[in-house]
Amino acid sequence: MDRRMFLGMTSAALFVEALGTAALAMTNADGLKPMALGLLITPFGAPEEAIRRVHDLGFSNCFLSLDGYINGFSSDLAKQFQDLLAKYDVVATTVEVVGPGPLEWNFMQGPSTIGLVPQKMRAARIDALRQVSDFAKMVGIGQVQTHCGFIPEDPADPQYPGTVEAIRTVAQHCQGNGQHFLMETGQETPTTMSRMIRDVNMPNLGVGLDTANLILYGKANPVDAVDILGPHIRSVHAKDGRWPTNPSELGEEVLIGKGLVDFRGVFTKLHRIGYTGAITIERETSGPQQIADVREEKVYLEGILHEILA
């Protein structure tokens, strides 16, 4: 057994001991029904309105996108979120930050601006992820997620070793807080993400499967991605889209059921491998249109999940 494998096994044992049985159960399903539908919200500026909307739309859980709070996380804010989640009987499954910026969500500037790969933004983003991890611990949330960026497919790329260490640094911080750290799919192929999981070698490093991002970035079919990443998937964004046709821009995100994601295929495979986490709807519209879209998407996904889980 080499030194890295030994350290990995030791870390895994310590992580399980630190989490304890109750915490492990929380991070598996947070007390929710298997594959419970939830909603991604960006609550900055109006947290009560955002969390009340989750409840009013009939969801039991939410995924918190918290970039607006970077450098403003506090115990008072954590208490506010705890109280609001309890008031509206909503479970927060995961927190995410992707900033600070700049961030360019395209193929031209994206590789140099997104995630932990770009060296000039790496330290600030590690700091932001540590902040949100500490905040999540205060609230009682067991998962932290981010886009790690355009991870090099070539492990000999000069950017690769630094990216490995950056992801390991964040995973170690989350481990100390009893949390899993999740890499959101999108900018890399599933095989590249799988290699990163192996090379980081942390027991709490996992995957946030975004069903549309794999298509929007032209990287993979999400049904096939489950075959590669399945054991590591701990959260799911239900989102739909189409392949990119402009080589400078991502593909188009569309209403669930109108794009190319085979949700029945994805959910069936997830169910077969024992996935019990939330299915979080993410719709990238806003205002009344977003609410109307989410209502329609919820009905669509409920029909598929009912068939699979029956």
Instruction: Work out the pLDDT band at 30, boundaries 50, 70, 90.
Output: confident
C-alpha 281/C-alpha 266 separation (Å) is 14
Domain ranges of the chain: 3-305
Mean pLDDT over each residue of the chain, to the nearest integer = 92
Give the pLDDT band (50/70/90) at residue 189. very high
In this structure, whether the domain defined by 3-305 belongs to CATH 3.20.20.150 is answered with yes
Q: What pLDDT is recorded for position 118? A: 98
Contact, 63 vs 85, CB < 8 A?
no
Q: Is the pLDDT assigned to residue 221 strictly greater than 90?
A: yes
Any idea what DSSP says for residue 64? E
Per residue in 241-265, pLDDT tens?
Answer: 999 999 999 999 999 999 999 999 9
Higher pLDDT, 63 or 25: 63
Residue 121's pLDDT is 97
User: Rounded to two decimals, what is the model's pTM?
Assistant: 0.90
Q: Which residue has the tokens 């598996």?
A: 28
CA-wise closest residue to 240 among 308, 183, 297, 290: 297
* Rounded average pLDDT over 139-146: 98
Q: What is the DSSP letter of 257?
A: T
